[in-house]
């Protein structure tokens, strides 16, 4: 398991390739990457992501451990960035390896659902008009109920 | 104990962290002490349903005991991913 919290960009292709390479016992590798999305109305200058150093790594590793308890998984990778990101930049990625695809897909979705509302990150949208903290959505909290 | 603030809680209070001397038994009691200090604390803690708390970097609820806790963090619901 590898959990990385960093300010710098990451190379999604290289990370996915390195993760998938040498997985001889694993029939499935699922990768997901999250991208900074412009506002529906356009005009997003940047997304600023704040986090809680110290807790972030532990919280993500805890979620990944739970995923490994629940599904038959090989390796798990989570990379999450913080700092100032422009629209189109990649915020984070998750990769899961499993003998069979159902476990790999479900574990990746579980990780994403929990990272959204249980990993200590806070997003702020910067536009020409000012800055606004992104509010957590009820549906993100509700998404945890299915697990 | 060390008290940390993140996101708009940090902005409202105007500090990322501070050392607080307290005899509060629970998080809720600590919040009441902080609220009584100044308007900026009152503004930050006005609606507890809009806040989350971590004790020694683990999510807990507002009734959790503070005994033995070194680090308390207050922040809005998280928006990762």
Q: Is the dihedral of CA B13, B11, A6, A136 positive or negative?
A: positive
Interval A61-75: pLDDT, tens? 999 999 999 999 999
**Alpha carbon distance B38, B40 (integer Å):** 6
What is the layout of strands, in order, in the sheet containing B58-60?
A: B17-19, B2-5, B71-75, B52-55, B58-60
Helix (H, G, I), strand (E, B) or coil at A124: strand
**What is the model's pLDDT at position A15?**
97
Residue B62 lies in a domain: yes
> For residue B55, what are the domain limits?
2-75
The pLDDT assigned to A65 comes to 96
Q: pLDDT (tens digit, 9 = 90+) per residue, B13-55?
A: 999 999 999 999 999 999 999 999 999 999 999 999 999 999 9
- Going through B1-40 in order, the beta strands assigned E by DSSP cover 2-5, 17-19
- Is the pLDDT score of A22 beyond 90? no
Q: Are A54 and B57 an interchain contact pair (Cβ–Cβ within 8 Å)?
A: yes
CB contact under 8 A, A133 and B8: yes
B59 part of a folded domain? yes
What does the alpha-carbon distance between residue A103 and residue A108 come to, in Å, rounded to a whole number? 8
Average predicted confidence (pLDDT) for chain A: 95
Q: Which residue has the higher pLDDT, A144 or A84?
A: A84
Chain B: residue whose CA lies nearest to A48: B7
Alpha-carbon span A15 to A24, nearest angstrom: 17
Question: What pLDDT shows up at residue A138?
Answer: 86
CATH number of the domain that B49 lies in? Answer: 3.10.20.30
A132 CB within 8 Å of a chain B CB: no
Q: List, as ranges, residues 58-77 from B with C-beta within 8 Å of A.
A: 58-59, 73, 75-77
Number of domains in chain B: 1
Distance of CA A108 to the CA centre of its chain: 9
CA distance B81 to chain A (A): 5
Q: Do A136 and B54 count as a contact with CB atoms less than 8 A apart?
A: no
Residue A23 pLDDT greater than 90, yes or no:
no
Hey, what domains does chain A have and what are their CATH numbers?
Answer: 2-146 (3.90.1170.40)
Q: Is residue B12 less than 8 Å (CB to CB) from chain A?
A: no
A104: which residues sit within 8 A by CB, 6+ positions away?
A26, A28, A29, A30, A73, A96, A97, A98
- Write the ipTM: 0.95
């Amino acid at each position: 398991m590898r959990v990385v919290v960093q300010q710098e960009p990451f190379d999604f292709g290289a990370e996915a390739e390195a993760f998938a390479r040498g997985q001889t016992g694993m029939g499935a590798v699922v990768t997901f990457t999250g991208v900074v999305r412009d506002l529906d109305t356009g005009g997003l200058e940047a997304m600023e992501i704040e986090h809680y150093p110290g807790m972030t790594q532990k919280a993500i590793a805890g979620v990944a451990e739970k995923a490994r308890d629940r599904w038959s998984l090989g390796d798990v990778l989570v990379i999450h960035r913080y700092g100032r990101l422009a629209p189109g930049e990649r915020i984070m990625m998750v990769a899961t390896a499993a003998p069979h695809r159902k476990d790999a897909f479900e574990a990746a979705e579980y990780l994403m659902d929990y990272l959204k509302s249980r990993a200590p990150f806070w997003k702020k949208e910067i536009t020409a008009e000012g800055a606004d903290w992104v509010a957590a959505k009820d549906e993100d909290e509700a998404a945890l109920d299915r697990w | 104990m060390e008290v940390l603030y993140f996101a708009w809680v940090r902005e409202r209070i105007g500090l990322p962290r501070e050392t607080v001397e307290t005899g509060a038994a629970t998080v809720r009691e600590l919040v009441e002490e902080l609220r009584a200090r100044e308007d900026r604390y009152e503004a930050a803690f006005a609606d507890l349903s809009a806040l989350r708390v971590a004790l020694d970097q683990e999510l807990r609820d507002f009734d959790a005991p503070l005994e033995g806790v070194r680090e308390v963090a207050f922040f809005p619901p998280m928006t990762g991913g």
